[in-house]
Amino acid sequence: MTQVLYSLRTNGDDWRITKFVDGEVESSYLTTQTECECPAGHRPSCRHRQMLPMMLASGIANTHWFWDFDLDRVVDFEGQLKSNLDALNELAEGQRSKGDALREYAAESGKPIADLSASHSAQSGHEIGRLSASPAKSWRRL
């Protein structure tokens, strides 16, 4: 399947929209809201002038993000949705902040992190059951 992506860069007062097909530059045109250098630029509208407001609203100008015109979405160069990658980054930030909080508490309390983790798992009921040193009594009915 052919992957077609568009990037947006500033070029003075104009915008440069570059088309990538399967990772290779196919074309690049200067575009404004009313004019475009592309072969369809003489028409009332062209694909570049249709994309420009959506690309600007998405905030991808001069970034590493691309516009997938066919699917109307922001993606990276591999075609992965920006919204999915942002969600993963937020999740990773949340995990990092929990780890940072644990390290800060360990530094303040003077306890090693391993001790804190063990006491936390015991308090939260996630401790693995231990074998008893004394055998359990069994009753037998006669």
Longest dimension (CA), the chain: 102
Q: What is the mean pLDDT of the chain?
A: 79
Give the tokens for residue 9. Answer: 């860069």
Confidence of residue 121 (pLDDT cuts 50, 70, 90): very low
Can you tell me the mean pLDDT for 5-26?
93
Phi-psi map region of 126: left, alpha, beta (phi>0 left; psi -120 to 50 alpha): alpha
Domain boundaries, the chain: 4-80, 83-117
Residue type at 141 in one-letter notation: R
Strand partners, 73: 68
Q: What is the pLDDT of residues 47-91, one digit of tens each?
A: 999 999 999 999 999 999 999 999 899 998 888 888 788 787 777
> Is pLDDT above 70 for 35?
yes
Closest CA to 9 of 62, 72, 88: 62
43 pLDDT above the threshold of 90: yes
Mean pLDDT of 115-134: 47
* CA–CA gap between residue 126 and residue 99 (Å, rounded): 18
Describe the crossing of helices 82-109 and 113-123 by its angle, rounded to 10 degrees: 110
> What pLDDT is recorded for position 22?
93
Distance CA 79, CA 70 (A): 12
